[in-house]
Amino acid sequence: MFTPYYRPRRLRKNEDIRRMVRETILTVNDLIYPMFVVEGKGVKNPINSMPGNYQLSIDLLIKEVKEVHNLGVPAIILFGIPKTKDALGSDATSDDGIVQRAVKAIKDTMPNMYVITDVCFCEYTDHGHCGAIKNGTVDNDTTLDMLGQQVITHARAGADMVAPSGMMDGMVAAIREALDDNGFIDIPIMSYAAKYASGFYGPFREAAESAPQFGDRRAYQMDPANAREALYEIELDVDEGADIIMVKPALSYLDIISRAKAITNLPIAAYNVSGEFSMVKAAAKLDWIDEAKVALEILTSIKRAGADLILTYYAKDAAKWLNG
């Protein structure tokens, strides 16, 4: 009988040795929970394709944020759905906009909750695109001015960090300049640096009511086939002054996360997006998989690939599973 000389199984024998040689430890500190805020009072609209997630009015959002905070999740990222949308997404740049009021309400009641705002226009425009339309497409440089106005209102409301997601060229530099010119030198920018034109955003567009009314986002979001272009996007954002760079989606793009880690020493965030969440939820509902096991495996894999921070709709559940 052949007997091997090398036996890696020795270090897998029991949980004691396994935990000693474990390379990646997922903790609640790694997680950021995305939340959706709407106008009204007492509103809690379930998002069908994302069980356990809701569109919440500010009063109920506060309650939910308290729960998130009590679970030890350090941060939330906030998406706003305004009552009225228009061509320029005016609610997004108003001090009285839905997100601005929500941020203020959260910070007033829970100053210790770290609040990140998504900076984009697709939830606020009637056409559903991520900026101002000119000649049938999103006009980059007009949108940069609008982004500058948007972040200032977020900062004035008390946001701790801003996260531009529109994939406009020069957005990080434009936002840094707007923040600095208005005295917000200490607010960091987490840039959605490599954001792909992905089918995995489907459920989010129901949640945020942000589906484009014509065409798609391929003229600004990246082609899923490209990797070197992602590295170029990341280099540009680092150069423009980003504090954290993000790869999105996460699961089909673990190679991008890993390569991003190799080219920058900035923290890397990865967005475990809505479609990735919904697929696990759906399979779990059919009893085809063990939900907690699969969800934690996915989050651990994203961290193993190189993510320092993970935006995930599983943040609350994961906190419970990790603490329990």
| Segments of the chain assigned E as strands | 31-38, 44-46, 54-57, 75-81, 114-119, 133-134, 137-138, 161-164, 190-195, 244-248, 268-272, 309-312
Contact characters 221-260, ligand PBG, x per CB under 6 A:
----------------------------------------
Tell me which stretch binds ligand PBG (CB under 6 A): 39-47, 101-109, 201-209, 230-238: 201-209
CA–CA separation, 155 vs 130, rounded Å?
Answer: 20
- Pick one of 120, 144, 222, 319: the residue that binds ligand PBG (CB under 6 A): 120
> What DSSP line would sit under 270-322, residue for residue?
EEE-HHHHHHHHHHHHTTSS-HHHHHHHHHHHHHHHT-SEEEETTHHHHHHHH
* Whole-number Å distance between alpha carbons of 298 and 277: 10
Binding ligand PBG (rule: CB under 6 A), the pick from 57, 117, 140, 274 is: 274
Nearer to ligand PBG, 176 or 217 (CB): 217
Annotated active-site residue 107? The verdict is no
Sorted by sequence, the CB contacts under 8 Å of residue 133 that are 6+ apart come out as: 87, 125, 127, 139
Catalytic annotation present for 63: no
Identity of the residue numbered 270: A
* Residue 33 within binding range of ligand PBG, rule CB under 6 A: no
Q: What three-state secondary structure class fits 269? A: strand
Contact between 91 and ligand PBG (CB under 6 A)?
A: no
278 near ligand PBG, rule: CB under 6 A:
no
Asked if residue 76 binds ligand PBG (CB under 6 A), the reply is no
**122 near ligand PBG, rule: CB under 6 A:** yes
**Residues β-bridged to residue 80:** 37
Nearer CB in complex with ligand PBG: 17/282: 282
User: How many residues interact with ligand PBG (rule CB under 6 A)?
Assistant: 11
Tell me the CA distances in angstroms from 218 to 72, 146, 167, 193, one per residue in order.
37, 21, 10, 15
Q: How far is the CB of 274 from ligand PBG (least distance, A)?
A: 3
Q: Which stretch binds ligand PBG (CB under 6 A): 150-158, 182-190, 200-208, 297-305?
A: 200-208
44, 85, 195, 261: which one is catalytic? Answer: 195
Three-class SS of residue 34?
A: strand
Closest approach of ligand PBG to the CB of residue 318, in Å: 16
DSSP bridge partners of 76: 33, 115
Summarize as ranges the residues that interact with ligand PBG (CB under 6 A).
Answer: 118, 120, 122, 165, 201, 204-205, 210, 217, 273-274
Active site residue ranges: 195, 248
